[in-house]
Structure 1
Amino acid sequence: FSVSSNQSHRSRASKVRQHVHCDSCYSRRCRARVEASVCCAVIPCRLHCGALFHLCKEEDHLLLCPTVRVPCLNAGFGCPVQLPRSSQAAHLRVCPASVLCCTMDWLRWPTDDTNPHSNIALQENVLKENEEGQGEALDFAMALVDQSDLYGRLKMRPLYPELVEDEEEEEVKEEKKEETATGGCFLFFSLISLLWTPIRLHTSISAGNSSCVNNVEETEQNRGGPVLGKEKLNLLEMMFSMERGACAVAQANLDNPKQNAVPGEMAQDKDTDKDGESCLPPDTSRSGHAPWQEGVLERLRQDLTPQEYNMYVVHHGRMLLNFGQIAACTPREKDFVYGSLEPIPVQTLRSFKVPDSYHYRQRVNLYDTTARAQSEPRGVDTSDLGVSEEAWFSDEAAATLLGYAEEEVMGHKISVSKGADGLYVDVGTQTHSFRSAPFKRKTTLAEVMVDRPQRLQLQLQAESVNSRHSRASCVFTFLCGHTFHRREFATHFRNVHSDIQTCLSGWFEQRCPLSYLGCTYSQRRFQPSTHKATVTYNQQLRTFNLRPTVVASLGDASQPQKERGGRTGGGEDSLSSLPYEVLCHMATFLDGLSLSQLALVSRLMRQVCSSLLQERGMVTLRWERKTYSHGGAKWRAKPVWEFSRLFSSVDSWHMSDIPPISAHLKVCPYYETSVHREPVPLPSMSDKQSCSQERMSLVNLFTGNR
């Protein structure tokens, strides 16, 4: 929609003029006579919405007209559609910016090596088959992805603070990098110290000739720092204009400003006037009013009035605390009456218990030397065990997972101090020796295990999140996190989470009953009822997928084409030779996951898939951090078009045509039958041989009691 300049000018002019009749007229059949400043003509809507109104109300009508083309309600989230106002509600169902993020979460705990019924042997055998490329189970592939996500979140510093490098060394390195990046920060602070001179001294210096500024620039060039011109000096001078202005206003409001004048300032002004010709920068390290200068508070008490002094402390109190000019209000060691005596902090929240050390009977042994056990100091070590030094190193992954699991289940770390009573505290110690120690402050477990052989440390079975383990606090909680269009979210949650993931272990994918011994056989019992396909898991995309089962005849027919393409060396597929329109029509039958993978094949396929982004894709905002050359940073959001990770919708599932699991037990290598050939007598047979009494029955038992 576009309005001509004449219409807009006329609407603005009519809006300025006050029409007495038009302000209160709402009739479609208004017959009022057109008069200046009273009434204007009645016109229909130019967009043919059917509305009739006075000419002066045309601009107001455009704000409500249902046929005006306006941006989508999600225009701020990346939707570029322009549509009539009456179609905004219906468009939200198909709007590419109407996206939802899946918040399905689950728990996956570390494996317990001490549990004899754990699947440690199974996990090791499945990992060997995965490395050999023989196949991959769904639960194992999903557990590996969760483990890589968990390793990236677990930090080493909370569990092993004693094995982390000192902060001072890292801070010195970072400060050196910042100094080299900024370059010449010392010049900035030196100029600030020049500006923080007394008011009259600063005025006399700034009133000098321009040769003083040139001399300052020459001195800074000799120092090797960056050259600051007159404009930058003026900019630095404006930084403290508010503080100087407040002091000047307070001084001007005094009744007798001449009496408050300090002789030292007058003498200082004369000195600066004399030295203006030489234009040498004065030494203000012991005479300025900057918060970092030595003895600034004593000079302020002499040079300023009490009102100005209080105002200075209010505005610059934080800087005075940082530079140690004034002491903080918090109590220190010297403030206590009894010297180094400090209050004992609370060690526990448990109910108070009377200290056992107050009982006389338990304290008698402390004073009776005859009742004490004989003891002597001796040095002991573990050399008699005959173990090499390499055996004492612990696995970083196992120890870290155990520490975080202990903190989640028990609510505290392994080596946590516990108050026994009011006097005694049980201090727990736990020592660790790792090959990769010491760690940096921001080191994660993923960085430590980057060069180690892959091993599954988590359980294959996932659990649902309960009220005890919240997603915010538990580190073993995993989130789906995929983004889908509003119309696709219900299908994703039903097929992926309800049908596959929650029923994965034992129902959707069934393992051998002897899997706890190490058998890796598994079978997927279900497939879509409409077509033959196999459910797989993509570790790169972290989502499930449907792989169609190719008929053997079609697979044999495609072999000559592959051989023909391999001989020519072009590597083109048969689809690339089809017309562009045919490819676009074929792409409309694919799901979002297939389209996202087809776009990675070639440039032609990327163009084909990009033509369906407006109809089948979705747009989201991706935030990126942009760092500027001067050191500042800013976050910016840009719209990103992509396809969702949703496979074809499956309305119903049916059992696959595979043999039952009992057929595998006949050939399972872990199934060992125990055949007993020698006869074993039953307990009743042994009783007959040893005792000749009549065998008791229930009838005889009840009749005998009578």
Structure 2
Amino acid sequence: MGKNRTTSSGLHSHCEKCYNQHCKIPIDISNSCAFISCRLNCGAAFHLCKEDEHRLLCPKETVPCLNSGYGCPMTMTRQRLSKHLEVCPASVITCTLEWNRWPVNEADTAFYRNALQDPNYMSQMDLAMALRDQKLLFSSIQMKTLFPELIEKTEEPEVPLDGAVGGVDPERWESLNLNPEEMLENSLNGEEVQELTQEERLALAKSKNVACLENYGMWERMFAKEKEGCNQTVKNLEDKSCSIKNKEDPRVTPQNSHDDIAITGLAPWQDGVLDRLGKEVNVAEYNMYLVHNGCMLINFGQLAACTPKEKDFVYGNLEPIEVQTVRSFNVPKSYRAKRSHLKDPSQIVKKTHQNVDTSDLGIAIEELPKANEVEATLLSALERELKGHQICETVGTDGLYVDIGTQTYDFYSAPFNSDASLADVVEDQPQNLHVQIQTECVTRRHNKSCSAFTYLCCHAFRRDEYPWHFRNVHGDIQSCLTGWFLQRCPLAYLGCTFSQKQFQPSKYQATVSYDTDLSTFILRPEVTASLYKGVRIANSDRKRARNLDSLSRLPFEILQHIVSFLDSVSLGRLSQVSQLMREVCSTVLQQKGMVYLKWEKKTYSHGGFTWRARKKAWEFSSLFSPVDKWVFDDMPPMAEHLKVCPFYQKEIRSEPVALPGMTDLQERRGEFQTLVNSVLTTIKAHRE
């Protein structure tokens, strides 16, 4: 009854326009159908033919998550989709907070030399984070970018010509070495000339030794063949022109036709071809003609082999050229520099071109000290970062004056591999800290998008976890790390490495630390020693639980209840303890985990490729338990440390110090100007 549709939309003519919730129209097979209510009891009423459309909007219809294409496996009623998106495991946000960290200044090396000598330096949050950023910095700096002259020179393998595919035997080159005039004469007389294969032609074209006599003969032979083809073309044109002109004017002879073509044609051997090209074609086509037919133009005398400088280029019209760099700008002869920063031209010091090096030091090159790889590389990278060019790069001050400078380095580890980074160079050296422990969020003048000194957080979180991560990690800890969360000795600039943590969560006992594996800050709870002791078990269970710890001996249901209270970072660590704990943690993946698609690249036989999502990957984020409020930890003040600080040196003076006497001040009181005296003097002068 509901399948007899009459309209193009698939609905009955009455049902298509009926929106009455209490429609009482009788059933008509050609006009209307039965009026029903929603089978899921959502409260909607409609005609039977509209049931499929209602299922697309019914709030109680079971549908997959909107992020099902990104890995979310959950299904729910449509009315719960919006609430589910807040905690959807496939709704993942990547933190894009950036910060800068600059190399250490030469005047502040005392602290950084002593920082890594402490055996517990990794427990200090700022040092651990600085070492992580330094590792990323060293891996991103490529030595060939900063020091291309110190890269190992790799010899290109020579292409074997004898017996190789596409090679030409040198002996055959000599046997084919003919005089160009002889080759041309033989070809015109119909004599056979030994022909090269396509592979031999390619090998000859790729050969770098084109100046040798053997190759010269081959090149001339190739051009002679082109000339022979041109002669045949001219012959065909002459025959065609003669036949056409004979039909139009019987008085025209073939000889006259040949003379006209020789005068008006554009072949390389015809007289005046360059003059005609200069008038008929543009500059680009003219230059292209010279490139392809230059050798033939020289052979036929149309173009000189060594032209004077003033005839090197032919301009059809002059066009403005964009000046991209100072070096691409040719200064006109009539130009005279007017340097505004030279105030008195009569006192200008005469400048001369002079090479400056280390020869005036009187020291041999072998005796010069070697440069430090890390310091020199960071200095060069910093110069390129802030100034936008290499150290001592050639710089043009104006159109005439150019400052030329070069900077050379001599390293112990040079030359470097072509793909070597700074991390590869210092791999065998002892670890040192070369970047500042202070970070900078508001950057200086440089491009952050391609900066080597800019670092990203790049941690992924669920949508409901991201606000707590940004607040606790970046807003509370990282931005307030220096001087607040981590208080260092005031004499740290002298080399003191003492520090203490000041804050902890208000609701539970935990300390903030930096996890090098996760590259982020975490909370480490303070667990009492009694919880580490084993628990008693029955004798019947001793054999089964002999190799298990006290936590693993608990029933699976109790373990599930325990992990429901853990945060994401704790669940991630617990899942790596054992297979049992991994199974327990997997039960809360949909509630506290994240899912993303694992993409794999598939390459086809024809060379194309596509990316396909092969499987889903589940993991826990690095979020610790949210902290609403931080409180000061119970610790002694920094003054207690200063009493025993080895860098705090007291200077006790036992000799008396001369102070100004009170009697002298009373006698000289009139000499001092006070506010009252100034006001009285002003009033007195005004009255007078």
- Cα deviation, 1:108-131, whole Å, max 9, x if unaligned, reads 110111x3xx2x2212212111xx
Q: Which of these residues, 573, 579, 582, is aligned with residue 606 of structure 1? A: 582
Q: Which of these residues, 48, 58, 76, is aligned with residue 65 of structure 1? A: 58
Q: Does 1:659 align with 2:633?
A: no
Paired residues of 1:108 and 1:463 also in contact (CA < 8 A): yes
- Cα deviation, 1:534-582, whole Å, max 9, x if unaligned, reads 1110111101111122335556x56999xxxxxx997632111111111
AA in 2 matched with 1:533: A
- Cα deviation, 1:253-303, whole Å, max 9, x if unaligned, reads xxxxxxxxxxxxxxxxxxxxxxxxxxxxxx89999xxxx99989969989x
Q: Does 1:155 align with 2:142?
A: yes
**Match in the other structure for 1:339:** 312
AA in 1 matched with 2:91: S
Q: Distance in 1 between matches of 2:487 and 2:371?
A: 35
How much has 1:646 moved relative to structure 2?
0.6
Q: Which of these residues, 112, 135, 138, is aligned with residue 123 of structure 1? A: 112
How much has 1:518 moved relative to structure 2?
1.2
Change (3 A) 1:663 1:165: same
AA in 2 matched with 1:654: V
**Match in the other structure for 1:313:** none
Paired residues of 1:15 and 1:56 also in contact (CA < 8 A): no
Task: Please give the residue correspondences for 1:127-206 in structure 2 after superposition, counting only pairs within 5 Å.
Answer: 127-129=116-118, 132-133=119-120, 136-165=123-152, 169=156
Change (3 A) 1:677 1:284: closer
How much has 1:651 moved relative to structure 2?
1.0
Q: Distance in 2 between matches of 1:147 and 1:528?
A: 30
AA in 1 matched with 2:589: L
Change (3 A) 1:393 1:558: farther
Task: Please give the residue correspondences for 1:610-689 in structure 2 after superposition, counting only pairs within 5 Å.
Answer: 610-626=586-602, 633-637=609-613, 638-682=615-659, 684=661
Paired residues of 1:348 and 1:418 also in contact (CA < 8 A): no
Q: Which of these residues, 436, 440, 458, is aligned with residue 459 of structure 1? A: 436
SS of residue paired to 2:135: helix
Q: Which of these residues, 105, 114, 127, is aligned with residue 112 of structure 1? A: 105
AA in 1 matched with 2:552: S
Q: Which of these residues, 84, 95, 100, is aligned with residue 88 of structure 2? A: 95
Q: Distance in 2 between matches of 1:430 and 1:700?
A: 60
**Match in the other structure for 1:523:** 500
Change (3 A) 1:17 1:483: closer
Paired residues of 2:576 and 2:582 also in contact (CA < 8 A): yes
Q: Distance in 1 between matches of 2:380 and 2:409?
A: 11
Paired residues of 1:592 and 1:645 also in contact (CA < 8 A): yes
AA in 2 matched with 1:600: Q
AA in 1 matched with 2:46: F
Q: Distance in 2 between matches of 1:341 and 1:425?
A: 30
**Match in the other structure for 2:337:** 355
**More off after superposition, 49-58 vs 458-467:** 49-58
Paired residues of 1:512 and 1:519 also in contact (CA < 8 A): yes
How much has 1:70 moved relative to structure 2?
1.6
- Aligned Cα RMSD in Å? 4.9
Paired residues of 1:159 and 1:400 also in contact (CA < 8 A): yes
**Match in the other structure for 2:573:** 597
Paired residues of 1:393 and 1:435 also in contact (CA < 8 A): yes
Change (3 A) 1:602 1:328: farther
Q: Distance in 2 between matches of 1:701 and 1:360?
A: 50
Q: Which of these residues, 562, 582, 593, is aligned with residue 586 of structure 1? A: 562
Task: Please give the residue correspondences for 1:239-278 in structure 2 after superposition, counting only pairs within 5 Å.
Answer: none
How much has 1:388 moved relative to structure 2?
6.2
Counting matched residue pairs gives 541
Change (3 A) 1:490 1:510: same
Task: Please give the residue correspondences for 1:481-630 in structure 2 after superposition, counting only pairs within 5 Å.
Answer: 481-551=458-528, 557=533, 572-626=548-602
Paired residues of 2:513 and 2:522 also in contact (CA < 8 A): yes
Q: Distance in 1 between matches of 2:325 and 2:46?
A: 77
Change (3 A) 1:149 1:624: farther
AA in 2 matched with 1:39: S
SS of residue paired to 1:606: helix
AA in 2 matched with 1:96: P
Change (3 A) 1:624 1:442: farther
SS of residue paired to 1:640: strand
How much has 1:660 moved relative to structure 2?
0.4
How much has 1:437 moved relative to structure 2?
3.1
SS of residue paired to 1:668: coil
SS of residue paired to 2:31: coil
Paired residues of 1:153 and 1:444 also in contact (CA < 8 A): yes
Change (3 A) 1:661 1:48: same
SS of residue paired to 2:49: helix
Q: Distance in 1 between matches of 2:601 and 2:659?
A: 81
Q: Distance in 2 between matches of 1:301 and 1:33?
A: 90
AA in 2 matched with 1:589: F
Q: Distance in 2 between matches of 1:493 and 1:378?
A: 54
Q: Distance in 2 between matches of 1:459 and 1:379?
A: 33
Paired residues of 2:146 and 2:377 also in contact (CA < 8 A): yes
Stretches of structure 1 lacking an aligned partner (at least 5 in a row): 1-6, 177-183, 187-282, 306-326, 367-371, 562-567
Q: Distance in 1 between matches of 2:588 and 2:33?
A: 50
- Cα deviation, 1:356-398, whole Å, max 9, x if unaligned, reads 79x99899989xxxxx99x9x9998489548965x63322222
- Cα deviation, 1:498-534, whole Å, max 9, x if unaligned, reads 1111111111111111111111110111111112211
SS of residue paired to 1:464: coil
Q: Distance in 2 between matches of 1:330 and 1:150?
A: 52
Task: Please give the residue correspondences for 1:310-349 in structure 2 after superposition, counting only pairs within 5 Å.
Answer: 338-339=311-312, 346-347=325-326
**Match in the other structure for 1:26:** 19
**Match in the other structure for 2:390:** 413
Q: Distance in 2 between matches of 1:285 and 1:629?
A: 27
Change (3 A) 1:625 1:498: same
Paired residues of 1:72 and 1:80 also in contact (CA < 8 A): yes
Q: Which of these residues, 27, 36, 41, is aligned with residue 43 of structure 1? A: 36
Paired residues of 2:599 and 2:611 also in contact (CA < 8 A): yes
**More off after superposition, 425-434 vs 32-41:** 32-41
SS of residue paired to 2:450: coil
Stretches of structure 2 lacking an aligned partner (at least 5 in a row): 167-196, 207-221, 238-282, 292-308, 316-320, 538-543
Change (3 A) 1:364 1:481: closer
- Cα deviation, 1:188-238, whole Å, max 9, x if unaligned, reads xxxxxxxxxxxxxxxxxxxxxxxxxxxxxxxxxxxxxxxxxxxxxxxxxxx
Q: Distance in 2 between matches of 1:560 and 1:296?
A: 100
**Match in the other structure for 1:447:** 424
Q: Distance in 1 between matches of 2:430 and 2:446?
A: 31
Q: Distance in 2 between matches of 1:451 and 1:489?
A: 39
Change (3 A) 1:493 1:694: closer
Task: State the identity %.
Answer: 43
How much has 1:428 moved relative to structure 2?
1.6
